[in-house]
Amino acid sequence: MRPDLSVNLAGLELKNPVMTASGTFGYGLEFDPFFDIGQLGAIVVKGLSLKPKAGNPPPRIVETPAGMLNAIGLQNVGVDVFLNEKMPELREKKAPVIVNFFGNTEEEYVALAEKLDGVDGIAALEANISCPNVKAGGIAFGTDASVASTLIGKIRKSTSLPLIVKLSPNVTDIKVMARAVEEAGADILSMINTLTGMSIDVRTRRSNLANMTGGLSGPAIRPVAVRMVWEAAKSVNIPIIGIGGIVSAEDALEFILAGASAVQIGTASFISPTAAIDIVKGLERFLADEGISRLSDMIGALEG
């Protein structure tokens, strides 16, 4: 018998727990040459802003041990182009579409949430709160519990879609952030976004990124991500989507045992464009081998 991979995240029904991570899967359609993206649990598209954003000057990426730094600067086509040019084709796919979005002010977040609300084919919204808050002097929305709480409260009121809030790992206590965001009305947490890092070319004496610092992703950060999911899962009652360095089904299961109800695959899609679907198959195989009939039985099943 085929194991049952389906999961339910606060009403969001997914045929399997494997999603793509924002910014690593384009607008989804780029993966068409490789596999049927409709087989994934869900697709999370590149983070959208109200207006198109050009992003940072190059160099924007550099490899690091078992990871990479990126300073893309949230380049995106803007919400209008997305809705007009990408969404019609995405709607044809059988995978739920989750839209990641961000702003530099509360108003921008709210305007985006309103604009995306009720658009046919959008299954959920994911608010990226790791962005600098222009009004608060550039401190990220996602590193102060009360700032995050106010923001999420406002977004909550502007949409009837399930609201996923994506947490930044660059904080002292992820439990505090998780609880603040839960209380403010988030339906689901996703975590983690990238850790801030830096890499220097010692011959040119310059940062390897024009932006000086960037976000660290990939297998290197997995232990930090698993720990944060575990801590958050013990602190909140809403479902969690685990993200960070997942390249195999076993990696995904670390997050699920730690308390995640689903996972997102990021950097791994660069290494292997079929990574996400390979992980779906790997989960199926793991469950079959171990005689586990329902993946959902493994959520939070860590012992000890």
Residues in contact with a copy of itself by the rule CB under 8 A:
64-67, 69, 143-144, 170-173, 195-200, 202-207, 210, 212-213, 216, 218-224, 226-227, 230, 245, 250, 253-254, 257-258, 286, 290, 301-304
Tokens of 82: 């997305």
Distance CA 123, CA 118 (A): 9
In the list another protein, ligand FMN, a copy of itself, none, the entry touching 224 (Cβ below 5 to 8 angstroms by class) is a copy of itself
Cα gap 170→6, rounded to integer Å:
31
At which residue do the structure tokens 């608010």 appear?
A: 127
Question: 44, 83, 112, 131: which is the annotated catalytic residue?
Answer: 131
Give which of a copy of itself, ligand FMN, another protein, none residue 300 binds (C-beta under 5 to 8 Å, depending on kind): none
Task: Take residue 159 and report the two structure tokens written for it.
Answer: 């949409």
Least separation in angstroms between CB 210 and a copy of itself:
8
Q: Tell me whether residue 3 or residue 74 sits nearer to ligand FMN (CB atom).
A: 74
Q: Which residues, in sequence order, are bridge partners of residue 238? A: none
Which of ligand FMN, another protein, a copy of itself, none does residue 205 bind to, with CB < 5 to 8 Å depending on kind?
Answer: a copy of itself
What angle, rounded to 10 degrees, do the helices at 222-233 and 249-258 form? 30
Binding site for ligand FMN (CB under 6 A): 21-24, 46-47, 70, 72, 74, 100, 128, 166, 193-194, 217-218, 221, 243-246, 265-268
Between the alpha carbon of residue 54 and those of residues 115, 210, 217, 244, the distances in Å are: 21, 14, 22, 26
Q: Work out how close the CB of 117 gets to another protein at its nearest, in angstroms, rounded to a whole number.
A: 27
Contact, 135 vs 151, CB < 8 A?
Answer: no
Report whether the peptide linkage leading into residue 192 is cis, meaning its omega lies within 30 degrees of zero. Answer: yes
Q: Are strands 67-70 and 61-64 parallel, antiparallel or unpaired?
A: antiparallel
Comparison of 40 and 268: residue with beta carbon closer to ligand FMN: 268
* Spatial CB neighbours of 61, under 8 Å, sequence gap ≥ 6: 68, 69, 70, 71, 72, 209, 214
Minimal distance, residue 225 CB to ligand FMN, in Å: 7
Among another protein, a copy of itself, ligand FMN, none, partner that 6 touches (CB below 5 to 8 angstroms by kind): none
User: Quick one: which of 261, 237, 259, 251 has its CA closest to 283?
Assistant: 251
* Residue 21 interacts with which of a copy of itself, another protein, ligand FMN, none, CB < 5 to 8 Å by class: ligand FMN
From a copy of itself, ligand FMN, another protein, none, which one binds at residue 55 (CB under 5 to 8 Å depending on kind)? Answer: another protein
Nearer to another protein, 39 or 105 (CB): 39
Q: Which residue has the tokens 């994911």?
A: 126
For another protein, the binding residues (CB under 8 A) are 23-26, 30-34, 46, 54-55, 57-63, 65-68, 70, 72, 75, 218-219, 247, 267, 269-274
Closest CB 218 distance from another protein, rounded Å: 6
131 given a catalytic annotation: yes
Contact at 8 Å (CB) between 10 and 186? no
Q: Which residues belong to the active site? A: 131
